[in-house]
Amino acid sequence: MKDINILMIGVGGQGTVLSSDIVCDVALAGDADVKKSEIHGMAQRGGSVVSHVRIGAKVLSPVIPIGEADIVISFENMEFLRYPEYAGKNTSLVVSTHRIYPPSVAGGQEAYPAEQTEDTKKAFKEVFEIDAMKTATAIGNSKVAGMVMLGKLAALLPFDADLWRAVISKKVPPKTVDMNLAAFNAGYQF
Amino acid sequence: MKEVLSGNEAFARGAYEHGVKVVSSYPGTPSTEITEHVAQYEQIYSEWATNEKVALETVIGASLAGRRAMTCMKHVGLNVAADPLMTVSYTGVNGGLVIVVADDPNMFSSQNEQDSRHYARLAKVPMLEPADSQEAKDFIGIALEMSEKYCTPVLVRSCTRISHSKSVVTLKARNTPPTFEPENDIKKWVMVPANARVRHKIVENRLEKLADCADTGRLTINPVEFRSEEIGIICAGVTYHYVKEAMPEASILKLEMVYPICFEKIKRFCERVKKLYVVEELDRFIENELKAAGIEIQPLNRSVCGELSVDEVRKLFGKSVKEPAFDPKQLPARPPNMCPGCSHRGMFYAIAKLKLFAAGDIGCYTLGLLPPLSAINSTVCMGASIPMAHGMDKATDGALARKSVAVIGDSTFFHTGINGLLNSVYNAGTSTVIILDNSITGMTGHQPNPGTGCTIKGAPTQKINFPKLLEAMGVKNIRTVNPFDPDECIKVLKEETAREELSVIVTDKPCIFADRSVIKPPFYVDVKNCSGCTICTRLGCPAILWNKEDKRAFIDESLCTGCELCVKVCRFDAIHQRG
């Protein structure tokens, strides 16, 4: 299969790590090789979180090389700006329109970089803007916004939707399976 | 069965599959999750030790008793365990003994970037280095067999990109572990000089045999992938994957045992390639070993700081890398911060208010250095705060002790802080020590410690009582304060720093992750009363925000834990509780 590099970016607490774990399990279930790399440790809640996921027949480095991300998925509206090196000319962007204000913006010292965010979107091959928070709230819980995003990502990858649904059902807390699947389906059809 | 596992999960799985009986460790990023996952296997006895020296000594005992044992730590943890490491090399082992050490190139969460391979050479013990999760699991098995066959402890080196990356692993059942009768052999296990002189020769002889076993292929390690005759590259660990992706045309010798070096195999590899390179992360460890053995290495303009990557390797060999789609932007940062409701914040507010010099330590509370609190003035290593304050006290005949404090958390106090405090008591220090007791090891992800009252498996156990412990240690001035009451903290700090005697102040409110019952309904800002004085925003609480338009504070109620610290500093009665 063709190699696929996915850079998954979010803010601590948004479920970025769980989402990237789901992508890994789907890839393995779909008979692909997969590697993932992420950095945590001093990243407290509210910090920037990034996972590199690489899928292919045989994956080597767990980290995506410069300019070689096929898909950048940003669970927050500005966070993809933080990792300019991985996106190239042929990169697709999936971005949530939801904003989470960094401390300096919340404290009034700096502005949210709305203009830069809009400008930079032009550098991508294609952009999918998802109002994941609104969709999740309509489903009944803002916490499944990440699953809406994952649904859109799934639609761009060569794995069967039922494979995703099976992995999600295993990975999320049992009581939240239905709500997460509803969120996934909403994102998948976006 | 195949699963996608992190390197740390795979190390734990390796211990399970290969019959390890005892694991004792102290948490430290990026090694922590190994022992956390080991704790899920009921066949393995596991524990959080008070520090890495204690952990290693515990597993040395387990090995002496004839069972397979493992300890896991981060690179700076191996410094703490270095003392027993140097001598267990001499005694050797009985049951297989593995020490996993996780380095942190680029220092994502560490105070230095040391290269642990030097410890293998210093202690004269073998070191294996896996390149992904499958090897992380397999190398625990190879290390245990090597340990028993050659009567040596074995180091297994990880790094952040192994520990915290995930890849596909084939799982197997647990082996029936080999067990041995406990050893009672004073010539082997009592390292007085007369016995140690004999053992040193055995250690040197063992190193030769180990190098030879890898050379002659009796161990299936150090594979060669022969491609081009032009370029041969020697590499190890995760760097192997960077090299293979960046230089698919090159011949590769992957050193899976990075110490001792197997020269014969390398010499045969050199003879088959025109130019030989070494690509390795951090220090020029392999390169210098090879040069010392007279092997000709081509120079590479490589930094010994930070991580390697596919792109870095491409650049080293003059290959181009792709262009990023856009340029870096100046972005508002998302810095690490003490959590909303953190029990450390009030004491740091008081320390900053009194402009005290704070000798800090390693833990969540190191974040007290960040603005707006900016309350920490030094951080060196685990347990350093108390002796450093003691040194400042003695160097200035007490003058600096009147204007400074040592700050240390409960877990760090049990780790090595307790020794420093004993020293201050014994040597009549006059400094002021603050133990920020939040009843948990916060920074590494909330592991229990002797002040928590439960074991790694959640079983109830003895909880250390700080005031009683301090009293027994001979501390005369012991104060317990509520860190959510800054006025009380300021008053006690003034009294205790003025005192020309040693004193210890203990804060006793739990981490909000250690005890969720402390979370109360959120607070809100009554804008009618808010004067816009900014005293509450100066606490650095992530839940307290600033409304630029009307120049008033407001609270993100989804983050607020109801700790009341902001209420205590507000002089205008503008902050009230919901419900």
In chain B, what residues touch A105 (CB-CB under 8 Å)?
A: 332
Whether residue B335 lies inside any domain: the answer is no
Phi and psi at A49, nearest 5°, equal -125, 135
**Is position B533 annotated in a ligand binding site?**
yes
Verify cis geometry, omega within 30 degrees of 0, for the bond prior to B30.
yes
Give me the tens of pLDDT residue by residue for chain B, a chain 579 residues long.
999 999 999 999 999 999 999 999 999 999 999 999 999 999 999 999 999 999 999 999 999 999 999 999 999 999 999 999 999 999 999 999 999 999 999 998 999 999 999 999 999 999 999 999 999 999 999 999 999 999 999 999 999 999 999 999 999 999 998 999 999 999 999 999 999 999 999 999 999 999 887 766 556 678 899 999 999 999 999 999 999 999 999 999 999 999 999 888 899 999 999 999 999 999 999 999 999 999 999 999 999 999 999 999 999 999 999 989 888 889 998 888 899 999 999 999 999 999 999 999 999 999 999 989 999 999 999 999 999 999 999 999 999 999 999 999 999 999 999 999 999 999 999 999 999 999 999 999 999 999 999 999 999 999 999 999 999 999 999 999 999 999 999 999 999 999 999 999 999 999 998 889 999 999 999 999 999 999 999 999 989 998 888 899 999 998 899 999 999 999 999 999 997
Q: What is the CATH number of the domain that holds B455?
A: 3.40.50.970
Cα–Cα distance between B306 and B294 in angstroms, integer? 28
Contact B4 A36 (CB under 8 A): yes
From B153, B182, B216, the end of a domain falls on B216
User: B244-268 pLDDT, tens per residue?
Assistant: 999 999 999 999 999 999 888 899 9
In chain A, what residues touch B443 (CB-CB under 8 Å)?
A: 42
Residue with tokens 């989402």: A19
Contact A104 B332 (CB under 8 A): yes
Contact A80, A123 (CB under 8 A): no
Pick from B132, B323, B332: which is nearest to A105 by CB?
B332
**Is position B270 annotated in a ligand binding site?**
no
Cα–Cα distance between B163 and B358 in angstroms, integer? 33
Contact A39 B164 (CB under 8 A): yes
Pick from B132, B238, B322: which is nearest to A67 by CB?
B322
Q: Which residues on neighbouring strands pair with residue B232, listed in sequence order?
A: B251, B276
Cα–Cα distance between A33 and A160 in angstroms, integer? 16
Q: The pTM is what?
A: 0.96
Whether residue B429 lies inside any domain: the answer is yes
Cα–Cα distance between A105 and B546 in angstroms, integer? 9
Cα–Cα distance between B332 and A112 in angstroms, integer? 8
Coil, strand, or helix at residue B73?
strand
What's the DSSP call for residue B441?
B
Pick from A46, A91, A112: which is nearest to B337 by CB?
A46
In chain B, what residues touch A70 (CB-CB under 8 Å)?
A: none
Pick from B29, B325, B547: which is nearest to A91 by CB?
B325
Q: Domain range spanning residue B205?
A: 2-216
**Is position B489 annotated in a ligand binding site?**
no
Q: Is B27 on the interface with A (CB under 8 A)?
A: no
Residue with tokens 């063992």: B206
In chain A, what residues touch B537 (CB-CB under 8 Å)?
A: 107
- Interface predicted TM-score (ipTM) of this complex, two decimals: 0.95
Q: Is A189 on the interface with B (CB under 8 A)?
A: no
Cα–Cα distance between B203 and B206 in angstroms, integer? 5
Whether residue B332 lies inside any domain: the answer is no
Residues B134 and B272 in one domain: no
**Is position B342 annotated in a ligand binding site?**
no
From B160, B194, B216, the end of a domain falls on B216
Residues B163 and B16 in one domain: yes
Cα–Cα distance between B240 and B132 in angstroms, integer? 10
pLDDT given for residue B548 in this prediction: 83
pLDDT given for residue B574 in this prediction: 97
In chain A, what residues touch B314 (CB-CB under 8 Å)?
A: 65
Q: Is A25 exposed, middle or buried (0-12, 13-18, 19+ CB in 10 A)?
A: buried
Helices (H) and strands (E) in chain A, counts: 7, 6
The encoded tokens of residue B202 equal: 């055995």
Q: Is A1 on the interface with B (CB under 8 A)?
A: no
Residues B351 and B421 in one domain: yes
Residues B91 and B193 in one domain: yes
Residues B8 and B105 in one domain: yes
CA distance A182 to chain B (A): 24
pLDDT given for residue B218 in this prediction: 54
Residues B17 and B98 in one domain: yes
pLDDT given for residue A103 in this prediction: 82
- The number of distinct structural domains making up chain B is 4
**Is position B541 annotated in a ligand binding site?**
yes
Work out the number of other CB atoms within 10 angstroms of the CB of residue B467: 14
Q: Is B548 on the interface with A (CB under 8 A)?
A: yes
Angle between helices A177-188 and A161-171 (to 10 degrees): 150
Q: Where are the extended beta strands (E) located within B165-274?
A: 165-170, 224-225, 231-235, 251-254, 257-259
CA nearest to A94, candidates A125, A63, A68: A125
Contact B332 A102 (CB under 8 A): yes
Contact B257, B215 (CB under 8 A): no
Domain ranges of chain A: 4-189
Q: Which residues on neighbouring strands pair with residue B259, listed in sequence order?
A: B127
Instruction: Write the CB contacts of B366 (distance below 8 Å, at least 6 apart in sequence).
Output: B360, B376, B379, B443
In chain B, what residues touch A48 (CB-CB under 8 Å)?
A: 334
Q: Is A3 on the interface with B (CB under 8 A)?
A: no
pLDDT given for residue A48 in this prediction: 85
Contact B339 A45 (CB under 8 A): yes
Contact A66 B322 (CB under 8 A): yes
Residues 21-40 of A with CB under 8 A from B: 21, 24-25, 27-28, 33-40
Coil, strand, or helix at residue B429?
coil
Pick from A44, A81, A87: which is nearest to B337 by CB?
A44
Residue with tokens 């969720």: B516
Residues B229 and B288 in one domain: yes
Coil, strand, or helix at residue A33?
strand
Coil, strand, or helix at residue B62?
helix
Residues B139 and B65 in one domain: yes
The encoded tokens of residue B227 equal: 């491609």
From B297, B316, B335, the end of a domain falls on B316
Coil, strand, or helix at residue B365?
helix
In single-letter form, the type of residue at position A181 comes to: L
Residues B206 and B278 in one domain: no
Domain covering A4-189, topology: Pyruvate-ferredoxin Oxidoreductase; domain 3 (3.40.920)
First-residue to last-residue Cα distance in chain A: 25
Residues B249 and B150 in one domain: no
Closest-CA residue of chain B to A10: B334
Residues B212 and B254 in one domain: no
In chain B, what residues touch A124 (CB-CB under 8 Å)?
A: 325
Closest-CA residue of chain A to B111: A42
Residues B202 and B119 in one domain: yes
Q: Which residues on neighbouring strands pair with residue A51, listed in sequence order?
A: A8, A38
